[in-house]
Amino acid sequence: MARHIFRPTRYHNTLGTAEPCLRIADGDTLVAETVDASGLDANEVAVAARPNPMTGPFFVEGAEPGDTLAVEIIRLTPNRRTGWTYSPLALTVLDPAAILDRPKQERAIWEINANEGTVRLRDAPAALAGFTPPLAPMIGCFGVAPAGGEAISTATSGAHGGNMDYRRFAPGTTAWFPVSVPGALFYLGDGHAAQGDGEITGTGIETSFEMEVRLSVLKRRITWPRAETAEEIITIGNARPLDQALQHATTEMQRWLGEDYGLDARAASHLMGMVVRYDVGNVFNPAYTVACRVAKKWLTKA
């Protein structure tokens, strides 16, 4: 199995059927640079593709419609010492009455200290003096080309993946995407140095990254994105309103428990009713994201 190092010269602001930038074999490791949508930065070229410029697409040999692409997230390394966010809170997460008192939007710069493993707000208000959250790199937007020749904006998400902004898409997690076109056509980007649940200011700490992932083809069919860590299995629903995203994630979890763990609908309901945990991913962009988690300690392989 090979290890590919890819330095992009062009980016995409849609996930769709485009000319592959690189063809790789099933099981290969990919190291790829990604950029944020900051425009002209002192250490990078101007980025024309907005929002969420994607690196790719990568053609994975052997991936066919009906398969699943497994993306093992090995390493996410920020390429800059700074990143940026916006404030205040997004319109989508505030009571309507509170919007009247919302301050104007401003961009803030954060210092990224890889040695200390922290981030710090530059020019922080006095109330946040000493506020140094942990550096916690994650992938905000990644996925595969959707079916039917569509090209879907990287501002949103769907069954193909996309802009999910889910904090557990981090090193140690393997994400699964349903393959709809030959080669899967995998894209990745939108790296965040840190972010709370929901991306509730409209950004994480946006910065450029070097991302290392391993891409593998699974000869199985899924409907919505899935993920796996050492401790949990996770299903992802992307839709709006929020309850529809939750329905997609919950239904996909019930399917998974039946396929791999031998639980019929009634048995799955008993287990899920007691141990399911839900997370909120993106609630800023057009489609919202909900994750449904079950700890592996409750499961026995069928």
What pLDDT, on a 0 to 100 scale, did the predictor assign at position 49?
A: 38
Strands 157-158 and 3-6: unpaired
Give the residue extent of every domain in the chain: 3-81+138-218, 85-128, 226-298
pLDDT digits (tens, 9 = 90+) for 152-168: 999 999 999 999 999 99
CA-CA distance, 17 to 151, in Å (whole number)? 7
Q: Is 221 left (phi over 0), alpha (psi -120 to 50) or beta?
A: beta
Q: Among 91, 194, 80, which Cα is nearest to 136's? A: 194
> Which class does domain 226-298 fall in?
alpha beta
What pLDDT, on a 0 to 100 scale, did the predictor assign at position 37?
A: 80
What pLDDT, on a 0 to 100 scale, did the predictor assign at position 227?
A: 98
CA-CA distance, 271 to 158, in Å (whole number)? 27
CA-CA distance, 279 to 103, in Å (whole number)? 28
What pLDDT, on a 0 to 100 scale, did the predictor assign at position 51?
A: 77
Q: Among 28, 68, 8, which Cα is nearest to 212's? A: 28
What pLDDT, on a 0 to 100 scale, did the predictor assign at position 1?
A: 87
16 with 152: CB under 8 angstroms?
yes
Query: 163: which 2 tokens?
Result: 């802009």
CA-CA distance, 299 to 53, in Å (whole number)? 38
pLDDT digits (tens, 9 = 90+) for 201-257: 999 999 999 999 999 999 999 999 999 999 999 999 999 999 999 999 999 999 999
The CATH superfamily of 3-81+138-218 is: Acetamidase/Formamidase-like domains (2.60.120.580)
Which residue ranges in the chain fall short of pLDDT 50? 39-49
What pLDDT, on a 0 to 100 scale, did the predictor assign at position 41?
A: 44
